[in-house]
Amino acid sequence: MGIVPDGPDGTPEAPRRKRHWLRWTALGVSVVLLSGSATAWWFYRKLDSNITTDTATAVELETFEKERPVPISLDAKNLLLMGSDTRRGEGNSKYGRDDGGSQRADTVILLHIAADRQSSTSMSIPRDLMTTIPSCRRPDGSRSGEHFGQFNSAFETGGAACTIRTVERMTGVRIDHHMVVDFRGFTKMVDAVDGVEVCLKEPVDDPDAHLNLPAGRQTLNGEEALGYVRARKSIGNGSDTERMDRQQQFLGSLVKKVQSDGVLLNPGKLYPVLDAATKSLMTDPGLDSLKDLYDLTRSLRNVPTENVQFLTVPRRPWTQNINRDELVQPQASLLFRQLREDSPITVRTPGAEAAGDSQRKNTPAPGTERSPGLRDGERTGAGEKPSGTPSPSTSAASPANSPSFSGTNAAVGVCD
């Protein structure tokens, strides 16, 4: 056995080398951990700084706090989601001319998140709905007068604050938070999830919407998706009703894509989605940090897709102009009350509606007989059923028998 040479101070060299090795290993591990922490911190700061805080809306809403609805269910959340058609900002000018900064809300959705976080209901509000718009502060500092007009003009008049106050006055629902996203933000989010699947009944060739798509099931990129959810004349019957139905189906498909791909649990997949979303996102101060957005999103991670519901506010053509809409009462008020009180909302999907209609056509009402001269399903004096009207089988409003509304959910297949 050899003798280990002593060091200058008389201690064996092998143990000292071992201590050097341990010291360098610990230093290396520390560097790796610190580098990882620094990278994570950099990503967090970058995403956090992407978000634009809408302080002007917060100030305006505070001015009218006394007239705003009082929340009934404190744990439920109501968010107003607005898609701006502004052509200003990076990447938005190619979607049309800049008309001096004027902008309207191309899409407005009231998102209700239940207090138990086991369901969500997204209610679309038509652009052409006629409603009372309150006095609002214009961009130049002057104030508009209260007037009766098209819903989407509220955003043009006074931005998000005017739209929120219009929705609150219409529904009695307290809006807790709001988000505004532009065209570029929408396209980037779709691209970040590698596209969203849709199903077309027939081919679409629409140069104005930048669409040239075959019929059938397919995955749309961001540019195609924007044209798809905005097009009116080239898809279906060209109505705003069908456009909103298409938007709801698309959002349901997007939710399903995010959940099935495990995006929320995979940092590598989640980062590009958050980066795309936050770059073109303007929110109220209560949602202007990445932590706030993450906490809200995380609270929804366990919501079953069949409980992610979409519907349109009950409405019909306005009696004074068929190109405008008006609320259908009392159905609209019943829906608004359910949202305020965080009561369960039953949404009948297209498949369920078809099955119910078929059953009703073949089942005469008690004590009645089918008239000899009528074919199945015909009724004397019957008109077109207004969109969003509750099913006849559940139209009697009572605590034990609340109405159901036509719509869809995220579990419905794209080609169903």
pLDDT tens sequence across 365-399? 444 343 333 333 333 333 344 666 554 433 333 44
Secondary element (H or E) of residue 124: strand 120-124
Contact 287, 298 (CB under 8 A): no
Task: Render the burial of 145-160: b for 16+ CB within 10 Å, e for the rest.
Answer: eeeebbbbbbbbbbbb
Terminus-to-terminus CA distance in the chain, angstroms?
82
Domains of the chain, first to last: 52-346 (3.40.630.190)
- Give residue for tokens 């869809």: 408
Contact 126, 107 (CB under 8 A): no
Residue 341 has a CB neighbour count (10 Å cut-off) of: 11
What is the pTM assigned to this prediction? 0.77
* Contacts of residue 155, Cβ cutoff 8 Å, sequence gap at least 6: 82, 84, 103, 104, 105, 108, 162, 163
pLDDT at 278: 82
- Give residue for tokens 């990447």: 91
Cα separation, 32 vs 68, whole angstroms: 52
Average pLDDT value for residue range 11-39: 54
Tens of pLDDT, residue by residue over 287-339, are 888 788 878 887 888 899 999 999 999 999 999 999 999 999 999 999 999 99
Pairwise pLDDT comparison (413 vs 116), residue with the higher score: 116
- Give residue for tokens 């950099």: 42
Provide the token pair at 171.
């529904």
Average pLDDT value for residue range 129-148: 95
pLDDT band at 277 (very low <50, low <70, confident <90, very high): confident
Pairwise pLDDT comparison (391 vs 248), residue with the higher score: 248
Average pLDDT value for residue range 342-347: 95
Closest CA to 170 of 365, 38, 325: 325
Cα separation, 247 vs 267, whole angstroms: 28
Which residues of 234-307 form beta strands (DSSP E)? 281-283
Cα separation, 144 vs 123, whole angstroms: 27
pLDDT band at 135 (very low <50, low <70, confident <90, very high): very high
Residue 166 has a CB neighbour count (10 Å cut-off) of: 26
Residue 224: pLDDT over 90 = yes
Cα separation, 273 vs 194, whole angstroms: 10
pLDDT band at 355 (very low <50, low <70, confident <90, very high): low
DSSP per-residue codes, 74-94: SSSEEEEEEEE----STTTGG
pLDDT at 3: 52
Residue 152: pLDDT over 80 = yes
pLDDT at 320: 95
